[in-house]
Structure formats: C-alpha cells, structure tokens
C-alpha cells in the first residue's frame, strides 16, 4: 500500500510546499492539499498529450526520431540562424533558464520570457520607483490589511487566501479572519470580492487617476472633484485614513494594473503610494506572478546579465531595452530568423499576426505536452515534468527559491529541461559558433 509523499505543486507561482501525492503503479492516484488547478497540473504527467519521444519534421510531417538526431537538427537550425529568438522559460527550472541565457549568448540571439507580456512590467516599475516587498511568510504572520488590486486569486492562485492572507492565523495575527481586512480594487465584482470587507470598483483604465488621488489625500491635499475614477472622494479619504492605521498592509498587484491604460506606469505610481504609506505604517507590494517560475527567469537573467528580460546578445555585448528587445516586438518586426520555444505555447496564446510570423520560421520546441506550437515545429524535444519527474529550483511569487521534488520516473524518452539545454549548449559550443 503506497503512502503519501510530500512534494511541491507547480500549478502556479505560489509553489505550495505542503502538498502530498500518493503514487501506485507509477501513477498519481490521489493528492492532498492541492487545489483543483494543482491536481490537474500534477495529473498532466499521465495526460494523453504527453510527448514521449523526440520528433523531427520530414516531408512536412513530424516523425519520431532519436534524441541524438533531434538534437543535431535543433543545433543545425539554431546555429545557422543569425538572430535566433529563445522564448518561453516561465515554466522551466532555474537550472534550465541559466543554460538558456548562456545559449543565447553563445548563439548571438535574443532571449526573453513570457514575463515580458505579464509581470515583467512590475520589475520595470520597481526599477523606476523602488520596491518595498516582503515574503509570504511575513504576510501570513503580520499583515492585517490585504489588498488585491487588479487580481482575483480565487482564480489565479486558488490557495493564496487560505495559506497566506485572509484565513490563516499568524504569529501576530492570532485572530485570523476577524483581525484582518480584505480590500478588492477591480473594475468588476470578482469572485474574491464576495468575501471582501470593501470593494473599490474603479472605472476601467483609471487606476492611475485613483492611485494619484490616494497619494494626494495621503499628503493632506484637497481634491475638488466629488469622485475620482468612479470612487467618491469621501471613500478615498476613508480608505487612506484606514490604511494608515493598520499594522501591516500588503497590496497584491495583478495584471489588471499592467494590462490597462498606463501599463507599467500604473504599477510605478502604486509602488510610490506604498513607499509613502511607510511614513505611517509598514506597507509592501507583491506582484501576482502566474507561471510557477516566471520570477525565476527574471532573477536568473538579472544575476547573469544585469537585465531581467528582453536580453539581446546579437550585438556581441548584452543589450536590453524592453519594448525593443522583448519577444513580441522582435516577432512583430520580423527581426528573428529561427526560434527556440521552451515550455510555452505562443501559437495558441499570442495574437494571430504574431502566431503567423512564428509559423514562418524554423522552430525548435522543448516541452512536455503536445500543443499547437509543437504541432508546427521542425524539431520537438520532449521534456520531463519538473517537480514531478525531475528535480529543479523555482522562485515563488515573493522571490523565495523553492526546491522542487521528483516522485515519478520520466516517461518515454523524456529528459529534464536542464539536460536538454545542456546537450544543446555543448553541441553548439563544439561547433564553435559565437
Ligand atoms: S495554489 Fe497554485 S501551487 Fe498551490 S496547490 Fe493550487 S495550483 Fe498548486
């Protein structure tokens, strides 16, 4: 009779480390403490769409190949390209991400992660405005004011509320839910809003105006209008007076802020508000990164190159200018001649004009599941699932590194993403391509 074994869930950026799985006959038969999304993610190890052997396109069709042949073809495609784009990475291990950046430098290509169309903007905002943050452990133990701004964790990070924010009792929040205040700022009534103490329903695209009004109130200035961004000024006054008196406030920053008008400037001004609130009490912000290791790519890229995303090594030295060297812009301007996609599915997630441009270029994909992107690839290298079939490291949304565990053997011919990248790098190094 198999026992439950402890592991870490890779279903989202929360990387829940209290999860347990029961394995019988090489299959997951039961899980403990996972949310539905986590269970679905772990059980994808047995999905019918798992890739189990390398594939190479021959006469317009993908056919099974040996790993050696598939790696040789991938090496050929990438080394012949003048400016390959290496894209994806948010669902790959830190070890693979590191090798990916070295590979981009070796190839003279551009490497970017999906964070550039997601929470990468929070990093850019932090660079402009400064960034006061905390770990989720601190939030659990100290925070008595929780604000979700433009995010709905009940969908994106289902155990966020029960593990770290509203529900748990921390060292300094022994009364749990009764002691804490939950505020939702969103353009609509979200599911999380059903249990909130206060909902600020901001007009779409007006977050910047609302945050600016809050900063004015905080500085003791009068606002002449009756309302700002759909929120009455007397409510804004009350909110700021309340926030100033809490022991520890945290704002969880969602994509609702970075994907509306103002883009990363919304987050920049929000970070300024957070800093100014620290004149009265302790206040922090944490971006709600979605993929399990999106934060990891930004960390690794910053250690190795000094830039968190959109890293261009095609000029001989490292250059980064988000908006110019980020993946989607490079694709839109057609400034790449081959693509390596790792753990991402741009064909089904990107707008059609971008997907069309990708489809016209030689394409190498490293992934564990069959996707619309693997279906049009020239070479597919099957990856073992990190955190299920192989170990690895990932960064939680609060930038805490977590070691991922293995509890199944890799299926078919799958290799870890780290091993695949290492083999590709050594083959390209042998070719002497700079
Ligand atoms: S909240 Fe995220 S990490 Fe935690 S169990 Fe659910 S999917 Fe997994």
* Radius of gyration for the chain, computed over Cα atoms and rounded to the nearest angstrom: 23
In angstroms, the CA 186 to CA 16 distance is: 26
In angstroms, the CA 15 to CA 396 distance is: 6
HSE, side-chain direction, 13 A CA sphere, residue 350: 24
Residue to mutate, 21, 35, 397, ligand 1, most ligand atoms under 8 Å from C-beta: 35
Strand order in the sheet with 282-287: 198-201, 181-186, 145-149, 248-253, 282-287
Global confidence as pTM: 0.95
Burial label for 289, CB within 10 Å (0-12, 13-18, 19+), is buried
pLDDT of 433 reads 57
Q: Residue 51, Cα to own-chain centre: how many angstroms?
A: 23
Calculate how far, in angstroms, residue 157's C-alpha sits from the geometric centre of ligand 1: 6
In angstroms, the CA 38 to CA 29 distance is: 14
In angstroms, the CA 326 to CA 299 distance is: 16
Calculate how far, in angstroms, residue 307's C-alpha sits from the geometric centre of ligand 1: 29
Atom of ligand 1 nearest to the CA of 14: 3
pLDDT of 263 reads 86
Atom of ligand 1 nearest to the CA of 8: 3
Calculate how far, in angstroms, residue 388's C-alpha sits from the geometric centre of ligand 1: 14
pLDDT of 302 reads 95
Q: Where are the domains of the chain?
A: 4-43, 50-117+292-431, 120-287
Residue to mutate, 21, 40, 91, 159, ligand 1, most ligand atoms under 8 Å from C-beta: 159
Residue to mutate, 19, 37, 294, ligand 1, most ligand atoms under 8 Å from C-beta: 37
In angstroms, the CA 65 to CA 85 distance is: 24
In angstroms, the CA 149 to CA 168 distance is: 20
What would the CATH number be for the domain defined by 50-117+292-431? 3.40.50.740
Burial label for 27, CB within 10 Å (0-12, 13-18, 19+), is exposed
- Across the chain, which has 434 residues, the per-10-residue mean pLDDT values are 89 96 93 95 94 96 96 97 97 98 97 92 89 96 97 95 95 92 95 95 97 97 94 97 97 92 92 97 96 96 95 94 95 97 96 96 97 98 97 97 96 96 96 68
pLDDT of 77 reads 97
Calculate how far, in angstroms, residue 242's C-alpha sits from the geometric centre of ligand 1: 32
Around Cβ 370, how many Cβ atoms within 10 Å?
Answer: 20
Helices and strands counted in the chain (H then E): 17, 20
What would the CATH number be for the domain defined by 120-287? 3.40.228.10
Q: What is the DSSP letter of 75?
A: H
Calculate how far, in angstroms, residue 384's C-alpha sits from the geometric centre of ligand 1: 20
Q: Is 11 near ligand 1, meaning CB less than 6 Å away?
A: yes
């Amino acid at each position: 009779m198999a026992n439950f074994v402890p592991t870490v869930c890779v279903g989202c950026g929360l990387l829940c480390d209290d999860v347990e799985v029961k394995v019988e006959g090489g299959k997951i038969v039961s899980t403990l403490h996972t949310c539905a999304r986590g269970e679905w993610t772990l059980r994808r190890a047995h999905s019918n769409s798992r890739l189990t052997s390398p594939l190479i396109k021959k006469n317009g069709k993908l056919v099974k190949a040996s790993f050696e042949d598939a790696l040789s073809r991938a090496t050929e495609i990438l080394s012949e390209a003048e400016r390959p784009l290496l894209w994806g990475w948010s669902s790959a291990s830190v070890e693979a991400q590191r090798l990916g950046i070295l590979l981009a430098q070796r190839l003279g290509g551009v490497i970017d992660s999906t964070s550039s169309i997601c929470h990468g903007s929070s990093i850019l905002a932090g660079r402009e405005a400064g960034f006061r943050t905390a770990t989720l452990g601190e939030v659990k133990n100290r925070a008595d004011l929780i604000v979700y701004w433009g995010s709905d964790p009940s969908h994106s990070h289902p155990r966020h509320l029960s593990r770290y924010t509203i529900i748990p009792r921390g060292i300094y929040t022994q009364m749990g839910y009764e002691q804490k205040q939950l505020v939702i700022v969103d353009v609509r009534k979200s599911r999380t809003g059903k249990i909130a103490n206060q909902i600020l329903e901001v007009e779409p695209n007006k977050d910047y105006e609302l945050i600016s009004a809050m900063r004015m109130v905080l500085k003791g200035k009068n606002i002449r209008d009756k309302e700002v961004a759909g929120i009455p000024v007397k409510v804004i006054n009350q909110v700021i007076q309340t926030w100033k008196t809490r022991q520890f406030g945290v704002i969880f920053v969602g994509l609702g802020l970075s994907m509306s008008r103002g883009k990363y400037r919304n987050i920049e001004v929000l970070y300024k508000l957070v800093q100014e609130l620290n004149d009265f009490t302790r206040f922090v912000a944490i971006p709600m990164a979605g993929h399990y290791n999106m934060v990891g790519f930004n960390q690794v890229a910053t250690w190795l190159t000094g830039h968190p995303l959109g890293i261009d090594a095609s000029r001989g030295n490292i250059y980064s200018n988000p908006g110019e060297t980020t993946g989607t812009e490079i694709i839109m301007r057609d400034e790449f001649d081959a693509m390596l996609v790792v753990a991402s599915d741009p064909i089904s997630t990107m707008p059609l004009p971008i997907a069309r441009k990708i489809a016209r270029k030689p394409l190498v994909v490293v992934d564990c599941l069959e996707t619309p992107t693997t279906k049009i690839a020239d070479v597919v290298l099957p990856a073992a699932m990190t955190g299920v079939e192989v170990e690895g490291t990932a960064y939680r949304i609060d930038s805490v590194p977590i070691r991922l565990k293995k509890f199944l053997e890799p299926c078919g011919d799958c290799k870890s993403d780290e091993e695949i990248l290492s083999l590709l790098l050594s083959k390209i190094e042998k070719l002497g391509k700079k």
